[in-house]
């Protein structure tokens, strides 16, 4: 079979090369006089690779398969740039960056070849962000809201709950009809399987697909992962869908690209990364946005070390995205779930698509959190505080509890805004934290399960002019919110 | 090409490789000219068919022994290889004939690498500087369409 493919291309292109040198995932090939950068080549033993660069004597090829390539083995040109099978057949599937199935469900059907290395769309093809993208996580939807077509970096140390947040967002968005693509870049096979199991278990396979490369695979394959994922996102966008694309994670991608570049003797720059690492990542991330047919919301992930978000790759990604959500290890250790830092997280465009009342609630919440934090630091020194300050501290505790959310509960933003207004209006001021928590859980349950109740609240928020009016009305009549506890 | 006289006497990659390995083995012995003189080493290590030519070549070379060896090795490694794949093992005479045939069309010096491939029915596959030319009977038969084969078979039967 492998030999047939090789012979087919050999007869087609009438050119052959011989492996002169093999340096990990880079292969230097003599011959192939008309090879061109980006072209796919096939090895006689069944592997394949992509031409990276050309010199007088050799073609430098990035190996894309895990096959062993020995010096002297034959290589044929294909006269084709790398294309991957993309289409509706990908939905619910777990595939590698070359479009080969990894889920034992047989070969992919209903896919067509697509070039994966494409230029980002021009400015004229783009549209302003118009719709909000809810994550179902109150702290994110209220403090750092996202818009469809936004590029938001998810940054944080290892084991700070980034993946849980991303999976929760993916589930919530899949249920809203968004196509969700999760790209696992150089992850452990166990994590890849877990993510695949998650979409099966949550019954969201009709809306989701996973493109994954494991850490044990060739550097070339890991390098291609975000390109294939973005191409799949572009396909579904062109079909008129809104797409959520998660690139988990780009620091691994940068490390792999550094490995390839150093092996290829490219001049190392800061932290030994090649000079074009910014260009490479920007070229991927820039392909997201809001367009005429649909949108691609891109959530690249970056891993920080010991809470340091000033690393080279991390700051690169920050500067090419429209904000970042920072998962704080200290907050995580204190028990905050999700451990999103409201002070270090940024959204540059998310607020512009919020409803006026959500925007005002968001401003109120941010301002409250800043004051509450200051007050906590002040009282830390044992200062005596008055009744009003104590009341604010109690309210702060309740808001902190409200913002700590289980990853299996996703609350629409209207539900979050209304409940936050309830806390701020002071209707539960006399309740202990335990009683408050019980009420909050009942509210969540009723809001999620009871369509009528949800519609009533949504209608109320539409009819209310501003957040202050909502607070006033809640102070005078809290029967609607209190009805959740009966 | 500084050593065309030596190169001209080598036809195949196997001959080139055996000469290179001999030259590589004597290289350390003349390191920095403090070892044995190259002329002595040529007599003791290099086959007689090459010894005379190399001595002559060395005599016309401006430079010390190790520089000469480096230069010769570099020249030998840089010569392109003409790969010929056939369904038989060639005799020396065949190699000489084939070399002469290709040498009349290829101006640059080259070495021949013969490879035996059991699948080739007849004819030859030529690979030169990455270009692949299939002149075998296999490709001829594959190119014949079914419509052409049927009348042929009828004729035979």
What is the three-class DSSP state of A97?
Answer: coil
In this prediction, the answer to ipTM > 0.90 reads: no
Chain A contact set for B130 (CB, 8 A): 15-17, 30-33
Q: Taking residues A124-148, report their average pLDDT.
A: 96
Q: Which residues of B touch A (CB under 8 A)?
A: 127, 129-134, 139
Whole-number average pLDDT of chain A: 93
- Residues B135 and A346: their CA atoms lie apart, in Å, by 67
A7 touches chain B (CB under 8 A): no
Q: What tens digit of pLDDT does each residue of B89-131 get? A: 999 999 999 999 998 887 688 999 999 999 999 999 999 999 9
Are A244 and A299 spatial neighbours (Cβ–Cβ below 8 Å)?
A: yes
* Cα distance between residue A131 and residue A294, in whole Å: 11
Q: What is the pLDDT of residue B31?
A: 62
Tens of pLDDT, residues A21-60: 999 899 999 999 999 999 999 999 889 999 999 999 899 9
Span A204-246, pLDDT tens digits: 999 999 999 999 999 999 999 999 999 999 999 999 999 999 9
**How would residue A201 be classed by pLDDT, with cut points 50, 70 and 90?**
very high
Contact B130 A10 (CB under 8 A): no
CA distance, residue B20 to nearest chain A CA (Å): 18
Judge whether A21 is closer than 8 Å to chain B, CB to CB. no
pLDDT of residue A188: 95
H/E stretch holding A479: helix A479-482
Q: What residue in B sits closest to A14 (Cα-Cα)?
A: B132
Query: For residues A139 and A391, which has the higher predicted lDDT (pLDDT)?
Result: A139
* Beta carbons of B130 and A33 less than 8 Å apart: yes
- Report chain B's mean pLDDT, rounded to a whole number: 85
Distance from CA of A6 to the nearest CA of B (A): 13
Judge: A14–B127 Cβ closer than 8 Å, yes or no: no
Q: Report the gap between the CA of A16 and the closest CA in chain B (Å).
A: 5
Residue B63 in this model has a pLDDT that exceeds 80: no
Which pLDDT score, from 0 to 100, does residue B1 have?
A: 62
- Report yes or no: A61 at the B interface, CB cutoff 8 Å: no
Bridge partners, A347 (sequence order)? A323
pLDDT of residue B37: 77
Residue of chain B whose alpha carbon sits nearest to that of A18: B130
For residue B62, the model assigns a pLDDT of 78
Q: Do A31 and B139 touch (CB under 8 A)?
A: no
For chain A, give the percent of residues with pLDDT over 90: 87
Q: Give pLDDT, residue B33.
A: 55
**Confidence (pLDDT) at A413:** 95
What is the rounded CA–CA span in Å between residue A233 and residue A242? 9
Give which of A16, A20, A51, A73 to mutate to test B binding, by max B Cβ within 10 Å: A16
Q: What is the pLDDT of residues A380-414, one digit of tens each?
A: 776 677 888 888 899 999 999 999 999 999 999 99
Q: Which of the residues B127, B130, B134, B139 would you substitute to probe the A interface, choosing the one with the greatest number of A C-beta atoms within 10 Å?
A: B130
> Which pLDDT score, from 0 to 100, does residue A133 have?
97
Q: Residue A15: its chain B contacts at CB < 8 A?
A: 130-132
Q: What is the pLDDT of residues A285-325, one digit of tens each?
A: 999 999 999 999 999 999 999 999 999 999 999 999 999 99
Which of these, A133, A346, A157, A357, lies nearest to A245 by C-alpha position?
Answer: A133
Determine how β-strand A323-327 pairs with β-strand A153-156.
parallel
* Strand pairing category for A94-95 and A39-43: unpaired
Helix, strand, coil % over all residues of chain A, rounded to 5: 45, 20, 35
In this prediction, residues A437-451 reach a mean pLDDT of 93
Distance from CA of A302 to the nearest CA of B (A): 43
At residue A34, the pLDDT reads 95
Nearest C-alpha in B relative to A29: B130
Catalytic pick among A126, A175, A266, A348: A348
pLDDT tens digits, one per residue of B33-59: 566 777 888 888 888 888 888 888 888
B81: nearest CA partner in chain A: A31
Task: Select from B130, B134, B139 the Cβ nearest to the Cβ of A31.
Answer: B130
Residue A406 sits at the vertex; the CA angle it makes with A401 and A409, to the nearest 5 degrees, is 115
pLDDT value of residue A1: 59
Res B26: pLDDT: 84
Contact list, B129 vs chain A (CB under 8 Å): 31, 33
Residue A317 confidence (pLDDT): 97
Asked if A190 has any chain B CB less than 8 Å from its own CB, the reply is no
| A32 near B CB under 8 A | yes
pLDDT of residue B34: 65
A17: closest CA of chain B, how far (Å):
5
* Residue A126 known to be catalytic: no
In whole angstroms, give the CA distance from residue A179 to residue A181. 7
Mean pLDDT, range A364-393, rounded to an integer: 86
- To 10 degrees, the CA torsion angle through A201, A202, A206, A211? -70
């Amino acid at each position: 079979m492998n030999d047939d493919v090789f012979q087919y291309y050999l007869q087609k292109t009438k050119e052959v090369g011989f492996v002169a040198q093999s340096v990990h995932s880079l292969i230097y090939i003599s011959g192939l006089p008309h090879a061109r950068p980006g072209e796919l080549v096939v090895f006689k033993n069944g592997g394949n690779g992509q031409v990276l660069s050309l010199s007088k004597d050799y073609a430098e090829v990035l190996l894309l398969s895990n096959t062993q390539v020995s010096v002297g083995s034959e290589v044929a040109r294909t006269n084709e740039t790398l294309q991957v099978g993309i289409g509706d057949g990908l939905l619910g599937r777990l595939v590698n960056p070359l479009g080969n199935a990894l889920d034992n469900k047989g070969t992919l059907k209903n896919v067509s070849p697509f070039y994966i290395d494409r230029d980002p769309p021009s400015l004229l093809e783009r549209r302003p962000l118009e719709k909000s993208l809810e994550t179902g996580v109150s702290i994110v939807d209220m403090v750092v809201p996202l818009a469809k077509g936004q590029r938001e970096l998810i940054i944080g140390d290892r084991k700070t709950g980034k993946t849980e947040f991303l999976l929760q967002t993916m589930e919530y968005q899949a249920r809203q009809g968004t196509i969700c693509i999760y790209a696992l870049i150089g992850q452990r096979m166990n994590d890849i399987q877990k993510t695949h199991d998650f979409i099966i278990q949550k019954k969201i396979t009709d809306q989701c697909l996973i493109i994954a490369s494991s850490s044990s695979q060739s550097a070339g394959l890991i390098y291609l992962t975000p390109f294939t994922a973005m191409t799949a996102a572009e396909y579904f966008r062109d079909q008129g869908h809104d797409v959520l694309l998660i690139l988990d994670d780009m620091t691994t991608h940068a490390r792999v690209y550094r490995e390839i570049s150093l092996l290829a003797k490219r001049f190392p720059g800061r932290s030994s990364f090649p000079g074009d690492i910014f260009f490479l990542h920007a070229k991927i991330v820039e392909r997201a946005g809001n367009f005429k047919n649909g949108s691609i919301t891109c959530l690249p992930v970056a891993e920080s070390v010991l809470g340091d978000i000033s690393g080279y790759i991390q700051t690169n990604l920050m500067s090419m995205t429209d904000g970042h959500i920072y998962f704080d290890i200290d907050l995580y250790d204190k028990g905050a779930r999700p451990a999103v830092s409201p002070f270090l997280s940024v959204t540059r465009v998310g607020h512009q698509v919020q409803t006026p009342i959500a925007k005002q609630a968001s401003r109120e919440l941010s301002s409250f959190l800043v004051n509450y934090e200051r007050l906590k630091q002040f009282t830390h020194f044992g200062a005596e505080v008055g009744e009003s300050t104590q009341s604010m501290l109690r309210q702060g505790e309740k808001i902190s509890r409200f913002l700590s959310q289980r990853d299996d509960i996703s609350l629409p933003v209207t539900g979050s805004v209304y409940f936050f207004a309830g806390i701020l209006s002071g209707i539960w001021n006399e309740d202990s934290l335990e009683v408050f928590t019980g009420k909050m859980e009942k509210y969540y349950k009723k809001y999620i399960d009871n369509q009528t109740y949800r519609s009533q609240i949504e209608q109320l928020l539409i009819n209310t002019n501003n957040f202050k009016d909502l607070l006033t009305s809640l102070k005078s009549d809290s029967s609607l919110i209190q009805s959740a506890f009966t | 090409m500084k050593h065309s006289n030596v190169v001209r006497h080598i036809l195949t990659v196997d001959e080139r490789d055996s000469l290179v390995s001999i030259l590589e083995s004597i290289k350390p012995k003349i390191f920095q000219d403090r070892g044995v003189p190259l002329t002595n080493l040529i007599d003791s290590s290099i086959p007689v068919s090459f010894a005379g030519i190399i001595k002559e070549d060395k005599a016309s070379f401006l430079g010390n022994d190790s520089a000469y060896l480096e230069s010769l090795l570099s020249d030998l490694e840089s010569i392109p290889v003409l790969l010929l794949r056939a369904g038989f093992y060639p005799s020396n005479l065949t190699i000489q004939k084939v070399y002469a045939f290709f040498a009349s069309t290829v101006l640059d010096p080259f070495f021949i690498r013969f490879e035996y491939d059991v699948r080739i029915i007849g004819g030859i596959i030529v690979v030169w500087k990455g270009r692949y030319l299939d002149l075998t009977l296999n490709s001829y038969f594959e190119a014949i369409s079914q419509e052409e084969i049927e009348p042929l078979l009828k004729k035979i039967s």
